[in-house]
Amino acid sequence: MPLASCLLPCALRYIPTPYSLLPTPYSLFPIPCSLCYSFNYPLIIVVSMIKKITLDSIWFRNLLIIVIVLGVVFRFYNLDRKVYWYDETMTSLRISGHTRTELVEEIFDGQIISVENLLKQYQFPNPERDINDTINSLAGNPEHSPLYYLMARLWLQTFGNSVVTIRLLSVIISLLALPCAYWLCLELFGSKLIGWVAVAIIAISPFHVLYAQEAREYSLWTVTILLSSAVLLWAMNYSRIKQFIKKPYRWIIYSFTVALALYTHPFSAFVLIGQGLYVLITEGGRWSKRVTSYLLASLGGILLFSPWLIIVITNFSKFIANTDSVNHSRSGFLPLFWTLNLSRIFFDVNQGIHPLSPLHYLSLFLAGYALYYLCRQAPQHAWVFIITLIGVTGIALIGPDVLLGGRRSSITRYAIPCYLGIQLAIAYFLTTQAKNSGKYTKVMIDGNLANPEDRQNQQVRGDHDMVPMGKTRQNPKAWKSIAIALAFSGILSCIVSSQLPVWWHKSYAKSRNNPPVAAWINQIPQPLLISNEIPGRVLSLCHLLRPDVQLMLLDKSNSSTNIPEIPEGFKNVLLYRPSEELRQGIETTYKYSVKPTDQSWLWKLSR
């Protein structure tokens, strides 16, 4: 894929090294060049704002700029080269207004259909189905809140049907997480620098980059978590920012963010419970005006969510049935999956769960020490907020798995609130070390380091707890090594994962052979592909095939007793992941010889 510099701000092209060394992929997706240039302006603003930060460590400021810019670039890179895997095809099926049952009944009946017609009808919006059909399809899967799917349908209807277009929506949404993280840090710590460090950590996190390129709701969930958290603190009047909106209206805005979060993901309920605990703890367990305002605002958000809540309650049996897989324990030691998932937010080269992997323990130590440092040094309202953000969701996932068995806590994307809290803690730790390196630190107010004379002269704003810090000289080499290691590991991880079509989050077992299988099929003339594989896996392969490839799809539940007649006129008749019963039935009924090809999951028929 050719390289160019369209996605980088024009200003960066003239900044001396190290900016001139930034990779600048351009041919990421077929959209107008003017749209690419429109993404330059936010990056220019970011660079100019960071350069205004007063910080002794100029290289640290430069590192922030490079990391944030690269994090943005990686989100756009190779959008069309990644496998459109099982879960993404289910997203598209619901957007099209169809259910899985309808797809099986209408298409998996042994009739011939082209890839082009299959995708056009069941993977993208079309005139035959409207937005009400999409809502009805989602009602059959109430475990998925509807906001992202409705947004995606409207997005595709506006900008056209393609894999790149729907993934571009997730990319753009993921970029909104960066200003939300910055705002949250301003509310928590009153420090712009902590905000920029948090933005950099989230921007280059390989975990967030992976899910920014998925046609799924998880980038939107990240945004709503950060947004609702920032608005809550803003409404509680902890903000250092000049207030232009009166407090009652801020609580109304919080109600809308509560509803947005719930309409995005059902696990937002855990985040909201954590926020409620935070309000109670910071108010000392007393019934105060803030507690009343929080309860009224939360109730307002739940009322706004009530239309979908009624659907969830009505279809609760489907909710339970569709999520039954999380109750099945997975092989392996569960805590190893926790440490593996934790390491993936910093460094991800598709490493396994080997118990001797140092990455697990380094990540665990970094997260643990950052949280310890946060609890010791940060204002009480800041560390209580982060601990409740992590703790409630963590307990909700780990508790049932430990007590009853299951795999909830091993599914990385479910723990996004926990990972965000850990990243905020690390941002606080690195920033305070950056400002303290080589200096004696005596006092800190709300995350803003200050000398006693500054405090006496009221040069440092803030009305919260002063946090005394030990009068010890900081070791600049240690924190510099951590900062460089985090930046390097994130960049390296994104480079590696961006080059491969299948990564761990796309279910390697379901997707790994689809790219070579599709490439092999696309090179042969007049193919007919027969399969009784489950719909999601077939649809995933179809997104890689030529539009004129013909399909004969069968329902696995009756394909062994209802062997279809194979039509003439096809030079190459292939079987994709057929069941043993289907292979034997074709050999017995039609006297075909079924032989494996040199591609896994693919067989060829010959007489």
CB 363 within 8 A of CB 412: no
Sign of CA dihedral 279, 280, 283, 287: positive
CB 130 within 8 A of CB 102: no
| Letter string b/e over residues 535-557, b meaning 16 or more CB atoms within 10 A of that residue's CB | bbbbbbbbbbbeeebbbbbbbbe
pLDDT band at 352 (very low <50, low <70, confident <90, very high): confident
Q: Report pLDDT for 17.
A: 31
pLDDT band at 51 (very low <50, low <70, confident <90, very high): low
| pLDDT tens-digit map of 152-197 | 999 999 999 999 999 999 999 999 999 999 999 999 998 888 999 9
| pLDDT tens-digit map of 388-414 | 999 999 999 999 999 988 999 999 999
pLDDT band at 330 (very low <50, low <70, confident <90, very high): confident
* C-alpha pair distances (Å), 363 with each of 345, 367, 434: 9, 6, 20
Q: Report pLDDT for 351.
A: 83
Q: Report pLDDT for 57.
A: 63
| pLDDT tens-digit map of 262-292 | 999 999 999 999 999 999 999 888 888 889 9
Cα 424 from Cα 385, distance rounded (Å): 11
Helix (H, G, I), strand (E, B) or coil at 39: coil
Helix (H, G, I), strand (E, B) or coil at 361: helix
pTM reported for the whole predicted model: 0.85
CB 22 within 8 A of CB 70: yes
Q: Specify the long-range contacts of residues 518-523, CB closer than 8 Å, at least 24 apart.
A: 518/544, 518/545, 519/544, 520/597, 520/598, 520/599, 520/602, 521/545, 521/546, 521/549, 521/574, 521/602, 522/546, 522/549
Q: Report pLDDT for 602.
A: 93
pLDDT band at 243 (very low <50, low <70, confident <90, very high): low
pLDDT band at 333 (very low <50, low <70, confident <90, very high): confident
Give percent of the chain with pLDDT exceeding 90: 61
Q: DSSP letter at 445?
A: E
Give CA angle at 535 (529, 539), nearest 5°: 65
pLDDT band at 508 (very low <50, low <70, confident <90, very high): confident
Q: Report pLDDT for 277.
A: 96
Sign of CA dihedral 316, 319, 322, 325: negative
Strand partners, 406: none
What mean pLDDT do residues 76-94 have? 94
Say how many C-beta atoms besides its own lie within 10 A of residue 481's C-beta. 11
What mean pLDDT do residues 186-215 have? 94
Here the tokens at position 413 are 């994307």
CB 250 within 8 A of CB 232: no
| pLDDT tens-digit map of 97-130 | 999 999 999 999 889 999 999 999 999 999 889 9
Q: Report pLDDT for 287.
A: 87
Q: How far apart are the first and last CA of the chain?
A: 42
pLDDT band at 33 (very low <50, low <70, confident <90, very high): very low
| pLDDT tens-digit map of 562-605 | 777 888 888 899 999 998 888 888 888 877 888 899 888 999 98
- Of 58-67, 331-340, 378-387, 466-475, give the lowest mean pLDDT range: 466-475
Cα 31 from Cα 445, distance rounded (Å): 47
Is 24 or 225 the better-scoring residue by pLDDT? 225
Q: Report pLDDT for 13.
A: 36
Here the tokens at position 221 are 């969930």
Residues belonging to the chain: 607
Q: Report pLDDT for 46.
A: 52
In whole angstroms, how large is the CA radius of gyration of the chain?
26
| pLDDT tens-digit map of 404-453 | 889 999 999 999 999 999 999 999 999 888 776 544 344 444 444 343 33
